[in-house]
């Protein structure tokens, strides 16, 4: 039984870094005229009311997106444009999740495949995202679902894998799924989000990627404090396979600024190459 609801966490620092990496990849994909497929294996509800009972409980967005002022971030102009689209009055009331962010870039010829297992969130996602014929919402296991779509007909695509890791086997499953997916579609871009709750688990995941034979693996991680065991998530990151060539340069400019804006004592970032060409 799934108990995780993203509505408690929407707009937190993890969403900020996940979504700015996502946007940079999507911006790159639409530079070419040819169609692409966007596959979101763990899509969530799509749009979050930051004043809902859930969001108001922890108010995590106040330590994430709520700390960023539009005028100070010209390099994140598209991120703020998307936020503005859902907050036309200027005040931050709604936070768009990954499927809605992807929708912003979708052209008629592109397709979006959204998997969400939680019955309530799948229902909300249908309401928020599935208004166009090229968007499909599926209440199915996204790990299995994404494999069934590869390689996509377009032969161009981005797969976002963003589990909640409430099931400990998710750490093994994200690697096994990407390993299988890469064999079916080695030219696709894969973006995997991970939390750092116990550094040993992430070191292990990193070693598996390094030994996998998969090429072009980059990592973007932001820690809001030094690693600590037993007090929740102190850092999180994105592992991106086949990133656009601009991504690491861009994140290397943005992450130092984000560390100052979002981090506390001991905050750090990593923008590095785990496996080269």
Ligand X SMILES: C[S@@+](CC[C@H](N)C(=O)[O-])C[C@H]1O[C@@H](n2cnc3c(N)ncnc32)[C@H](O)[C@@H]1O
Contact residues for ligand X (CB under 6 A)? 2, 4, 6, 18, 42-44, 97-98, 115-118, 121, 141-143, 162-164
Q: How far is the CB of 98 from ligand X (least distance, A)?
A: 3
> What is the per-residue burial (b if ≥16 Cβ within 10 Å, else e) of 51-85?
eeebbeeeebbebbbbebeeeebeebebbbebbee
Whose CA is closest to 211, among 147, 143, 277, 274? 274
Contact by Cβ (8 Å): 222, 269: yes
* Number of residue whose CB is nearest ligand X: 97
Q: How far is the CB of 34 from ligand X (least distance, A)?
A: 25
Return the number of the residue (60 or 121) whose C-beta is nearest ligand X: 121
Q: How far is the CB of 276 from ligand X (least distance, A)?
A: 28
Q: Cα–Cα distance between 146 and 141 in angstroms, integer?
A: 9
Q: How far is the CB of 108 from ligand X (least distance, A)?
A: 23
Q: Which structure tokens are listed for 211? A: 């030994």
- Annotated active-site residue 162? The verdict is yes
- Catalytic position from the list 33, 121, 162, 170: 162
Return the number of the residue (99 or 223) whose C-beta is nearest ligand X: 99
Q: What is the 3-state secondary structure (H, E, C) of 28-66?
A: HHCCCCCCCEEEECCCCCCEEECCCHHHHHHCHHHHCHH
Contact by Cβ (8 Å): 273, 221: no
Question: Hey, what's the torsion of the CAs at 220, 225, 229, 230, to 10 degrees?
Answer: -110
Return the number of the residue (37 or 162) whose C-beta is nearest ligand X: 162
Return the number of the residue (55 or 108) whose C-beta is nearest ligand X: 55
Strand order in the sheet with 189-196: 135-138, 111-115, 37-40, 157-161, 189-196, 235-241, 217-223, 268-275
Return the number of the residue (85 or 155) whose C-beta is nearest ligand X: 85
**Which residue numbers are catalytic?**
162
């Amino acid at each position: 039984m799934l108990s995780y609801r993203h509505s408690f966490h929407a707009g937190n620092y993890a969403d900020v870094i996940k979504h700015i990496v996502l946007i940079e990849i999507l911006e790159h994909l639409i530079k070419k005229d040819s169609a692409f497929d966007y596959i979101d294996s763990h899509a969530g509800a799509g749009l979050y009311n930051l004043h809902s009972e859930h969001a108001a409980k922890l108010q995590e967005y106040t330590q994430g997106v709520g700390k960023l002022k539009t005028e100070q971030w010209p390099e994140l102009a598209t991120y703020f444009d998307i936020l503005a689209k859902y907050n036309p009055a200027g005040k931050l009331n709604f936070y768009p999740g990954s499927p809605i962010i992807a929708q912003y870039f979708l052209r008629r010829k592109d397709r979006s495949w959204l998997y969400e297992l939680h019955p309530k969130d799948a229902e909300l996602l249908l309401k928020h995202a599935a208004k166009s014929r090229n968007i499909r919402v599926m209440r199915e296991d996204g790990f299995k679902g994404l494999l069934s779509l590869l390689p996509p007909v377009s032969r161009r695509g981005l797969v976002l894998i963003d589990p909640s890791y409430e099931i400990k086997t998710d750490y093994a499953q994200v690697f096994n799924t990407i390993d299988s997916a890469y064999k079916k579609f080695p030219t696709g871009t894969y973006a995997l989000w991970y939390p750092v709750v116990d550094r040993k688990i992430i070191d292990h995941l990193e070693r598996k990627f390094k030994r996998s034979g998969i090429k072009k693996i980059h990592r973007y991680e932001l820690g809001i404090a030094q690693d600590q065991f037993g007090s929740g998530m102190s850092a999180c990151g994105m592992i991106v396979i086949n990133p656009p060539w601009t991504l690491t340069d861009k994140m290397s400019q943005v992450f130092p600024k984000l560390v100052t804006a979002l981090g506390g004592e001991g905050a750090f970032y990593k923008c590095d190459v785990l496996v080269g060409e």
